[in-house]
A and B are shown apart, each in its own frame.
Chain A
Amino acid sequence: MEAYADTIVPGEKRWPGDAAIAGAADGGGAVAAGAIQLLEWDATGLTEGLDDLADLLNRHARTYADGRGLALDTALPPFVALDFGHRTALVAELTAPGHPEKEFWVLLALFSNMAYDSAAHMHTADAIAQGHPGLAAMGVVPPGPDRLWRFDQHSYGRRLARVHPDTTPSGSPA
């Protein structure tokens, strides 16, 4: 599951020889952002099926490798044994329109992405305070002391286009 999440939002290896994370991008990816914690939270509705999905993913990986004559390191689960390019190609196949299991793989992708782009397993203010890698990389600014956002400046404050000539007094199209 780590390897799947890392294919959705890739990150750097946690230690030399980290096999699950392919190391395809700098900075933390979905795994460092908490994808596994999120998926293991039963609020997602996926938790019970995770082991089955992992088994299924490995079966797909083996078929994928066999079809291409790839030799996989047998010490690793088959999906983890694929390199990042092959992991990406397989995930693209599994999530493509028409794949019979598409829905499950899309759900896994959605939650992997959510761990990174919104830290959906944590209070947002806490996640930012703890340096959550996704929110930090996206440049999400911290809220005020009351954990709410407010922006004093919000407008260029001038007219920037002609309005449509057929605009009614209510401000609607005619």
Chain B
Amino acid sequence: MNSAEQTDVLVVGSGFGGAIAAYHLAAGGASVTVLERGPWLTAEDAEHDYKLGSSYTRGFDFTVGDGMSILGGNCVGGGSVVYFASMPRAPRFVFERRGSIGRRMWPAAVSRDTLEPWYDRVAEALPVTPQDWHDVTYAGGLWAAACDHAGRTANPLPVAIDTAACVNCNWMMAGCRFDAKRSLLLNYLPAAVAHGAVIRPLHEVQAISRTDGGGYRIRYHVIDDEDYRITTGSGAIDAKIVVLAAGAGATPVILQRSEAGLGPMPHAVGRYFSGNGERLNTAVVNEDRVAEVLGLSRGEGAPAYGANPIGRGPTVASWDRLDGSLPEYSRYSLEQLYFPPGLGTILAQAPDAGDGPTWFGRDKKRMLSRWNSWLTIFTMSEDDNEGVFGPPPATGNAMRISQQMLGRGNLRYEPTANTRHGWAASDAEVKDILERDGIARVRPWTNDVVGAYTVHPLASCRMGDDPATSALDDRNELRGHPGIFVTDGSAVPGALTVNPAMTIAAVAERAVPGIVRAARERGVAVRYGAPAPDGSTSGRRGVLPLIRT
């Protein structure tokens, strides 16, 4: 192709990393184009429907790898449209982690203290607020009561949800019909568009190459609106700056495929992938014991719990093991979670299966008949960054199998003894808390079917100080490829022991002044300093003193 369209800044992906960069650069005066692989869904599109082809499958990408499967967003707004909006900040010790490289993983310039003002910006923009016990759902309440009974603490989570507008339908994973969830569709993205950014849905970026003028050419395919296996066109755009934010399961794959046009990639591209040390346990609750032992009641005639489908994802977490004095790989949080049928139930193992199979068959069917009494507990622990991406598939980040959602990717993940140690310790603790005095029977999800399972992919293209183990410098610029920045979860160096979106967003906010500077050096008339998307400025006051001029 000889003629390509032009833009100052090309953003790949519209999740946290992409939306935040797009907003600030557009607000600062740059021309910004966002290419997003998935469709542009609004609240009206958010159906309460498990049928294939509804928003529940249109908005998702589920990539089965070898030992690890990734569930992520596939729509404008990325993971924020399908996520549960729990937004805790990462504990202080996380930034001091050494992980598999035996030295501090995070760049020296980043710590909880230096990130705090950027967290504040995000909290103001979405906004993020703490919940109180009246917001906590039955499932979260049950988890809190069980933790308390076991002598432990439990916290209502901070969330990016307007709890007054929430109807507790528990369909968050299909998008929010009631706009109660503050996804990026309600803040950064509309604000970016208001400042002239152009967002093109169903545009899947395939590769990047250099242009003669020192810029970059980005090639994309246009994807069919209904059957993502079908390509309906293709094209290219030239840009002075590229912001890669396709998510930790896709960004390194685009870079691997781009080696032909860009030259060699840093060693860490596509290595050190982390699944945030995730692990799930499903408990089948004994309703009578919940009433007798924990003293919980939903009123006359109702089960004491029986509320698995009521609510809105996680509302309560236990943070007792987020203790920086504990050794690495033994720290984790335990969060109550809701996983709907279709994507969730298959991997749950029947706690009382005898010799037979646990994830299918007779005992599993019996377990499904108690579905209303399920309680799911989610571990986020410290893994060993052991994931490695193999050669890239022909297009996108996976070989697509189904019309939507399902694909086969080239990620290999073999959990090390460190990772397995954390999982085993957390499994044992969940069992101890929930089986105490007969409250429930519990068992972890199986890894035998699709490997370990993560909704929090991280670190596949990470930032750091050491060029041997990090793909990006401490300002998110790709080593050896000036003008290419990575601002999504792949830049976060390792597992966080809590939900990552808040940290991904804060790291992206932190990267923006550097991207603005690089754009100016390339002749783009752009300034830094926009307020929050709704015009609020208290977060801006916090970060302006941090910006080098």
B-binding residues in A (CB < 8 A): 7-10, 24-25, 29, 41-46, 88, 91-92, 95-97, 103, 106-107, 109-110, 113-114, 116-125, 134, 137-141, 143, 147-151, 153-168, 170-174
Contacts and interface: CB of A to CB of B under 8 A. Distances in A.
Given A9-B365, A120-B51, A149-B169, A174 B91 contact: yes
Contacts of B371: 138-140
B24 interface: no
Nearest to A106: B449
A92 B360 CA distance: 9
Task: Give the 4 A-B CB pairs with smallest separation, nearest first.
Answer: A171-B130, A118-B342, A171-B158, A118-B50
Contact of B342 (A120, A156, A173): A120
A45 B399 CA distance: 11
Contact of B135 (A116, A155, A167): A155
B148 A154 contact: no
Interface of B: 48-54, 64, 88-92, 119, 123, 128-131, 133-138, 141, 144-145, 147-148, 152-158, 167-171, 177, 227, 229, 296, 298, 307, 309-311, 316, 319-320, 322, 333, 340-342, 345-346, 356-357, 360-362, 364-366, 368-369, 371-372, 400-404, 406, 408, 448-450, 498, 502
Given A96-B448, A117-B341, A168-B89, 14 more contacts: A29-B365, A43-B53, A103-B64, A116-B368, A117-B345, A118-B340, A138-B341, A154-B310, A155-B134, A156-B141, A160-B133, A160-B144, A163-B156, A164-B319
Given A29-B365, A97-B448, A139-B371, A161 B144 contact: yes
B89 A157 contact: no
Contacts of A164: 153, 155, 319-320, 322
Given A45-B401, A155-B137, A117 B368 contact: yes
Contact of A45 (B64, B362, B406): B406
Residue in A113, A137, A172 whose Cβ sees the most chain B Cβ within 10 Å = A172
A124 B227 CA distance: 21
Nearest to A29: B365
Contacts of B401: 45-46, 107
A156 B154 contact: no
A88 B154 CA distance: 41
A124 B310 CA distance: 17
B48 A143 contact: yes
A120 B52 contact: yes
B155 A153 contact: no
Q: Max chain A CB contacts within 10 Å: which of B152, B155, B360?
A: B360
Nearest to B294: A160
A167 B309 CA distance: 29
Contacts of A120: 50-52, 342
A7 B360 CA distance: 8
A27 B141 CA distance: 33
Contacts of A153: 298, 310
A109 B357 CA distance: 13
